Amino acid sequence: MAKPVIPRHPVPRLMQETAEERLRSYPILTITGPRQSGKTTLSRLLRPNFPYFSLEDPDNRAFANEDPRGFLRQARGGAILDEVQRVPSLFSYLQSTVDADRSMGQYILTGSSQFELIESITQSLAGRSTLLTLLPFTLGELQTAKRAPQSVGALLHAGLFPPIYDRPVAATTWLQDYVATYLERDVRAILNIQDITAFQRFVQLCAGRCGQLLNITSLAADTGVTRATAQTWLTVLQASYLVFLIHPWSANLSKRLIKSPKLYFCDPGLAAWLIGIREAAHLTAHPQRGALFENWAMTELLKAQMNRGHKPSLHFLRNKQGNEVDALVETAPGCLHAIEIKSGATIASDYFAGLDYWRNQLSDLQITPWLIHGGSVQQQRERGHVLPWDNLEPLLAQLNGLA
């Protein structure tokens, strides 16, 4: 039974409290998320005495496939089963095992493929398993552990994947290996891609479009593949938690609203590496700095909801005239938090233009305006609450109903 590599001083995760609550209420907790986001470490923090079985291990996988009952007997009393989607047949046996025992918190399952996991849970473990999605570290988690990047450039260059902060490895080296090992190997295997060059180009073009409206036809044309192929590739990148789409908010106000979603990566450092950024200093005047900063802020908003076990409720507002608010979160019917994201350190008056426009257009709703910027100023203005990049807590607390 292979032991997972656990950091000597693991960074406490905000999801831990939510996960403990779920373990008290369900026989099985399933933790999904991109590769290397910390799922195994969190599982071991939750249940340090549970035996651990990785189904990436060929011997464990063969045992589970050939003798599932015997495999689960060695896990009697509780176990962590890592990358469990590798043995789909195991889910039916897990169902009968937890039904016979009926106690809570029997198993923690992890997996990095949304397609296979969700289908298996829906078919075999409905009502028996609760699902949480773990993304890489939040900036707040790293700040609590005193390991946080000290500048916007360092944050966007390194990103927030746990191994970069848990071991002595350069961010560029780790991200290069991540792309080669997980993104290209895993995703290509799912898709059975023969033309690796076209797929690499597609992923790089996606990174260059982070924060932009998704135009799948243009993306396909620039990659040199059909629209159907590009759509399939994008769907699998989403299912692997490597990219996500944010859809526009609508209350049936007007047909003039943009309907296309916006594309983001699960981690700004991954997107930065894919577009060729190899040093933090390159971000000082890089044309993609603003898009990467927006990508990071959107992941922080997404993580704030996911770490509490909430279904993500994150949108944006934009009409065909270009009036836009980067992020919109509805915390209660008719109560919206509108968030503008700017990488500049100096606050300019036009930063509030989108917020002003949509507050006027949606005057019948209660809108709280916010501005996240790349500087150090925190202010309470009439046009919006201004937050520096390294202190989003006032906003995140309100989004989670903690303030």
CATH of the domain at 79: 3.40.50.300
Average pLDDT, the chain: 91
Domain contains 326: no
Of 102, 133, 164, the position where a domain reaches its end is: 133
Which secondary-structure segment (H or E) carries 367?
A: strand 366-373
Sheet of 129-133, strands arranged across: 52-54, 79-82, 107-111, 28-32, 129-133
Q: Which helix (H) or strand (E) holds 84?
A: none
What range does the domain containing 176 cover?
A: 139-245+261-287
| Whether residue 224 sits in one domain with residue 116 | no
Highest mean pLDDT among 84-88, 156-160, 396-400: 156-160
Total count of domains within the chain: 2
What pTM was computed for the model? 0.94
**Tally: H helices and E strands in the chain:** 18, 13
Q: What is the pLDDT of residue 253?
A: 53
150 and 80 in a common domain: no
Strands (E) across 78-121 are located at 79-82, 107-111
Question: Mind listing the pLDDT tens digit for each residue in 199-232?
Answer: 999 999 999 999 999 999 999 999 999 999 999 9
Q: How confident is the model at residue 182 (pLDDT cuts 50, 70, 90)?
A: confident
Is residue 35 a contact partner of residue 182, using CB atoms and an 8 Å limit? yes
Is the separation of the CB atoms in 104 and 27 below 8 Å?
A: yes
Does residue 157 share a domain with residue 127?
no
Phi, psi of 119 (to 5 degrees): -65, -45
- Which residues partner with 248 through β-bridges? 316
How far apart CA 289 and CA 274 sit, in angstroms, is 14
pLDDT at 156: 98
Residue-wise pLDDT for 303-315, tens only, equals 999 999 998 889 9
Compute the radius of gyration of the chain from its Cα atoms: 22
Shared domain check, 211 and 172: yes
Do residue 77 and residue 153 come from a single domain? Answer: no
